[in-house]
Amino acid sequence: MTGARALSNVLTTRACAILVSVGLGAGAAALFLQFGAADGYQMVDGVRAALVFVTTFWLAWGAMQAIAGLIASCQAPEPLRSPITTRTAILMPVYNEDPGVVFARVAAMDDGIALLGLTDHFDFAILSDTQDDKLGAEEEDWFVHLWDDRAQEARTSIGLRPQFFYRRRHKNTGRKAGNIQDFFERSGANYDFALILDADSLMEGSTIAELVRRMQAEPKLGLLQTLPRVTGAQSRFGRAMQFAAGFYSPVFAQGQAAMQGVAGPFWGHNALIRVRAFAESCALPELSGPAPFGGHILSHDYVEAALLARAGWSVRVDPDLGGSFEEGPENMIDFAKRDRRWCQGNLQHVRVISAPGLKPWSRFVFFQGILSYIAPLFWMMFLASNLYATATAPETDFFPEPFQLFPVFPSDQTSKAVGVAVGVFGLLVFPKVLILVDAALRGRVIQFGGTWIALRGMVLELVMSSINAPIMLMWQTRAVSQVLMGRDGGWPAQTRGDGRLTLREAFSAGWWIQIWGVAVIAVTHLFAANLMLWVLPISVPLVIAPLVIWATSLPSRPPVFLTPEEFSVPSVIADHHRIMGQWAHAQAPINAPSARLTA
């Protein structure tokens, strides 16, 4: 496809998606206004209609991404066969992680690359920001283990450079972005490309090689992002998310790719970057003022993608690339903790959105990120405004004119509100149904255990996410409020493990949500009893929040939520398990505990 044609396609897709989303939002708002103003127009009716517009637009925008993805999805291109002529650093940033498990991932990826005979083109650099000295010492012990396991002594003894590097910063200035920048400022000139990973990332050797070949083939490509598949989940919550990410995300990502064109995303890891492009255009400044809006940029990846695009480099996501993996949170509490960090990072983009020279689409991406965290507030306001409108609705006046002989019955506009509710539900479910149909037609559904098992997973995930959504809404609302009040959430290390919670832990995380649930039911009962049926699907999950948090953290087993990686374990994941098993049984490094290394 020529550049002009590709640009025209991107612009058409964007225009259609925005027009349809705005149209659906406006239609829903108009219907709701007719319903609300049936007993006479009040200010609150206008507010409700505006809130319906924003929330419906947001849902429609998500649905349009799925539809664009279904339209744009095509056969994955053949892998490139060109020789690799460049040098790539594979960067594994580490921050208070279990070093044995993380270094086993490095070894597994090295095995994948070695199998292709490409070892000479790749180096691994473990970039530690671990602030705990005891854990830091453990990392060094495990690095010695990795060094021996990868026979580096044999290389250095004959004068060859090692292929594994380790560096620990005693002060994690600039967090992950600062960690990566520190690497480029010390060693960047040695490499053409850098593959940026997270501590829980795994990538197949063939995927890494394909990324490099695609980057070599396009000199203007500054960043190539893969779509990492979530793997290794063991809990109900984790496996439901893993299923949803595996089943729906490729289509949504395809839709994003179709809309973003060359101003694509960077999700912070599992992406290849061109060192020169990144070094020349991505050194982030500290924002003026204190956190949460000032200081270091938390969600640096979106900003780096925007800066690359500003400098004229292409940033692209290739969802067709398989063999890219990450892990996800195992329970709702860990999800909420991560979301708190992302919330602060996205809201901080208010300070970045007006940066000079950014492409309009990059600004829109920042706007989307901000809206995704503010949208729950609109839902809360919508709920509150409906309770208020119902509580303050005027008494029905059957004889509005003096000396009127016959009563005038107010026109019943309830069907319009029901229509909006059905439409909103449709926007949530319809894309998922379309994706299921598409997966069945293309045969992708076989990797998920067949149509019926996939359908069962889809329905269960829908039920689970409907129950979880009001609880998440409360956490998101709290997160946004905290950020707006100037509270910095810091940078907590990620929690790994099976994520199983006790009822006590679930209660201590969710008791305040219960109180809100009871309050919503009480207020509805007192002031707007006829709305009770509408409010119960939101308030009941709130009242039983600790139970939901606990129950969703319990273990889950296939076939429900079966994913392709469970159906057939990818070689890099199998290698990771094998290496962890070997390391656990071999003599552990002299100072390091080996208890956590179980395959």
3-state secondary structure at position 43: helix
Considering the rule CB under 8 A, would residue 307 count as an interface residue with other proteins?
yes
* 183 binds other proteins per the rule CB under 8 A: yes
Give the nearer residue to other proteins in terms of CB position, either 215 or 548.
Answer: 215
Among 109, 125, 212, 435, binds other proteins (CB under 8 A): 125
Contact with other proteins (CB under 8 A) among 2, 75, 288, 530: 288
Member of 33, 275, 383, 521 binding other proteins (CB under 8 A) = 275
Q: Determine which residue in the list 162, 419, 558, 581 makes contact with other proteins, applying CB under 8 A.
A: 162
Q: Rounded distance, CA 475 to CA 373, Å? A: 11
Is 167 an interacting residue with respect to other proteins (CB under 8 A)?
yes
Q: Binding pattern to other proteins, positions 509-528, x when CB under 8 A?
A: --------------------
Smallest separation, CB 122 to other proteins (Å): 14
Q: Where are the alpha helices (DSSP H) in 290-413?
A: 300-310, 332-348, 360-391
Give the nearest distance from C-beta 287 to other proteins in angstroms: 6
Q: Which two tokens stand for residue 436?
A: 């299921």
CB burial readout 491-530, b (16+ within 10 A) else e: beebebeebebeeebbbebbeebbebbeebbebbeeebee
Structural element, H or E, at residue 30:
helix 3-36
What are 492's two structure tokens?
A: 């907590």
The only residue of 70, 355, 446, 455 in contact with other proteins, by rule CB under 8 A: 355
Do the Cβ atoms of 571 and 325 come closer than 8 Å?
Answer: no
Alpha helices in 131-274 (DSSP H): 133-149, 152-157, 175-187, 205-217, 236-247, 249-260
Residue (128 or 324) nearer to other proteins, CB: 128
Q: 424, 378 in Cβ contact below 8 A? A: no
The residue from 8, 12, 82, 156 that contacts other proteins (CB under 8 A) is: 156
Q: What are phi and psi of 127, to 5 degrees?
A: -110, 95
Cα distance between residue 440 and residue 437, in whole Å: 5
Do 327 and 229 meet the contact criterion of CB atoms below 8 Å apart?
no
Say whether residue 152 binds other proteins (CB under 8 A).
Answer: yes
Residue in 338, 351, 478, 500 binding other proteins, rule: CB under 8 A = 351
Instruction: Work out whether 119 is an interface residue with other proteins (CB under 8 A).
Output: no
Q: Does 143 bind other proteins (CB under 8 A)?
A: yes
Cβ-contact 296, 202 below 8 angstroms: no
Positions in 202-221 near other proteins (CB under 8 A): none
Q: How far apart are CA 437 and CA 433, in angstroms?
A: 6
DSSP 71-120: HH--PPPPPP-PPP-S-EEEEEEESS--HHHHHHHHHHHHHHHHHTT-GG
Q: How many residues bind other proteins (CB under 8 A)?
A: 44
* Minimum CB distance to other proteins smaller for 169 or for 577: 169
The closest alpha carbon to 312, from 259, 262, 272, 265, belongs to 262
Apex CA 219: angle with CA 213 and CA 223, to 5°? 75
Taking the complex as a whole, the smallest distance from the CB of residue 508 to other proteins amounts, in Å, to: 39
Q: How far is the CB of 184 from other proteins (least distance, A)?
A: 5
Q: Does 303 sit near other proteins (CB under 8 A)?
A: yes
Region binding other proteins by CB under 8 A among candidate stretches 160-168, 230-238, 320-328, 483-491: 160-168
Stretch that binds other proteins, among 35-43, 65-73, 275-283, 421-429 (CB under 8 A): 275-283
The one-letter amino acid code at 48 reads R
Nearest distance in Å: CB 256, other proteins: 24
Closest CB 352 distance from other proteins, rounded Å: 6
The region of 155-163, 241-249, 319-327, 370-378 touching other proteins under the rule CB under 8 A is: 155-163
103 binds other proteins (CB under 8 A): no
> Helices (DSSP H) in 414-493: which residue ranges?
414-442, 451-484
Q: Which is nearer to other proteins, 356 or 402 (CB)?
A: 356
Dist CA 222 CA 315 (whole Å): 6
Which residues in this chain contact other proteins in the complex, by CB under 8 A? 125, 140-141, 143-144, 147, 152, 156, 161-162, 164-167, 181, 183-190, 275-276, 279-285, 287-288, 303, 307, 351-352, 354-356, 589-591
